[in-house]
Amino acid sequence: MATSEIPPKPASESRLVLHTLMLPEHSNALGNVHGGVILRQVDEAGAIAAMRHTRKACVTISIDSMTFRHPVHLGELLVCSAEVTWVGKTSIEVHVDVHSEHPITGETSHTNSGYVVYVALGDDGRPAPATPLLVTTEGERAAFEAGARRHAYRIANR
């Protein structure tokens, strides 16, 4: 089935929020969660959004630069919100926002954000056409156009 034959889907159908309680094995001796643990959750949330969107297996191709603005502490919830922002022929870009949340007080802190790119796979394990993204609002259109620019930048800087 060619890409143009796959009906487009809105980002709202694959949007998700993943909450994970940070336990001792996630943190260092100071009680701060390791950056690698956060990146793993970012990748997991992004992959779920990409797979929900395409209804295919997806593999990570790249994670854009991540700057950790605030630490996540032992006992807090790591909250990753993921949404598809751009889709190419086989590539899916997902924006992931990360927050920490104190489960008792409800206090939240924006930790980091980033874009993760996945490739949809067919049954043969090779890249396969991704479900097109249905863009309906100005905000979605702006996010899609920015995603296309990021895609062109990534390709030019391989």
- Looking at CATH, the fold of the domain delimited by 3-156 is given as Thiol Ester Dehydrase; Chain A (3.10.129)
Domain locations in the chain as residue ranges: 3-156
Q: What angle do CA 84, 38, 142 make, to 5 degrees?
A: 25
Query: pLDDT for 65-112, tens place per residue?
Result: 899 999 999 999 999 999 999 999 999 999 999 999 999 999 999 999
Cα–Cα distance for residue pair 138/148, rounded to 1 Å: 15
CA atoms within 13 A on the CB side of 8: 13
Stated pTM of the model: 0.93
